[in-house]
Amino acid sequence: MTGAGGMLGADLVTLLRHEGEDVVPLARRDLDLRDPRAAGAAVEDVKPDVVVNCAAWTAVDEAEAHEEEALAVNGHGVRRLAAASAGHGAKLIHISTDYVFDGTARLPYAEDEPVDPVNAYGRTKLAGERAALSHGGHIVRTAWLYGEHGANFATTMIRLAGERDTVSVVDDQHGQPTWTADLAGRIVLLGRSGAPPGVYHGTNAGRTTWYGYAREIFRLLGADPDRVRPTTSRDFPRPAPRPAYSVLGHAAWGRAGMAPMRDWREALHDAWPRLTRIV
């Protein structure tokens, strides 16, 4: 698997080893997808049954000014990895993003909903999706990730609760906080299943805003959730526009005979001891 040094990759490696799977974790220093020869050489060397690609350029704002560099990883690198995987007969599971959508929906995005990225990062990830699908890959779109192996919104809110009297958080972006450990479990299940190639949405169920998410974190801390103050995206301008609505539907799991992921609040409560341990 690629991207093994990231927040999701670390949880996936831990889970696979716990379940006795033979996993070869490759961090960026081991496999740089910008190298035209690296993907083919890695697949030839490892000879995997399943390839999970967690590697990506994830600096959303930086991609606005460096789209070609982001595309080298998220698009061209994925194309070479997908071709190498297909050539070896390995199942490819490629991790993608809600940013392939424009965020104008009012109902959860279905897996086959038309895509229309609003920023450079989304465009490069969409290029990777199309490359993977053209070689029979499985796409897992996810969003709003948090976990114990990297910086994320949940750990930031825990820290700020101890540093500030109040915290302003946007209340006009809607999505699904998703625990990386839950997503790792779903990726393993997909890898072991006979689910057909295509797009699957890997987010915890339910929906909230960043403001609602922050209030739940304060509740779990035993802090007054009214210390979280609602604001709008206009108060936090950033180089890359964000989709205002990133709620994803999960019908593809049911069609493949698998239940969707659990509600985000239940997942956050189970993740809580791990999150508070590292802040």
Both tokens of 47, joined, read 């000879």
DSSP letter, residue 234: G
DSSP letter, residue 172: S
**Helix pair angle (264-278, 180-192), 10° resolution:** 120
Domain contains 106: yes
Domain contains 230: no
Rg of the chain over all Cα atoms, to the nearest angstrom: 18
The structural domain count of the chain equals 1
Reduced to 3 states, what is the DSSP secondary structure of residue 96? strand
Domain contains 85: yes
Reduced to 3 states, what is the DSSP secondary structure of residue 229? strand
DSSP letter, residue 26: B
Cα–Cα dist 78/244, whole Å: 27
**DSSP run (H or E) holding 157:** helix 153-161
Domain contains 167: no
Domain contains 160: no
Both tokens of 170, joined, read 């946007």
**Tens place of pLDDT per residue across the chain (279 aa):** 999 999 999 999 999 999 999 999 999 999 999 999 999 999 999 999 999 999 999 999 999 999 999 999 999 999 999 999 999 999 999 999 999 999 999 999 999 999 999 999 999 999 999 999 999 999 999 999 999 999 999 999 999 999 999 999 999 999 999 999 999 999 999 999 999 999 999 999 999 999 999 999 999 999 999 999 999 999 999 999 999 999 999 999 999 999 999 999 999 999 999 999 876
Domain contains 236: no
CA distances from 230 to 13, 113, 166 (A): 37, 30, 10
Question: In which domain, by residue range, is 17 found?
Answer: 7-152+176-206+247-263
**Residue 166 and residue 227 in contact, taking contact as beta carbons nearer than 8 Å:** yes
Residue count of the chain, please give it. 279
**Residue 105 and residue 113 in contact, taking contact as beta carbons nearer than 8 Å:** yes
Cα–Cα dist 156/241, whole Å: 21
Q: What CATH code is carried by the domain that includes residue 109?
A: 3.40.50.720
- Residue 121 known to be catalytic: yes
pTM: 0.97
Which of 99, 121, 146, 200 is an active site residue? 121
Domain contains 35: yes
Instruction: Tell me what pLDDT residue 241 has.
Output: 95
Instruction: Tell me what pLDDT residue 92 has.
Output: 98
Judging by DSSP bridges, how do beta strands 174-175 and 208-209 pair with one another?
A: antiparallel
- 138-161 CB burial, b ≥16 within 10 A, e <16: bbbbbbbbbbbbbebbbbebbebb
Exposed / middle / buried, residue 225 (Cβ in 10 Å: 0-12, 13-18, 19+):
middle
Q: How far apart are the first and last CA of the chain?
A: 28
CB count in 10 Å sphere of residue 196 = 10
Domain contains 232: no
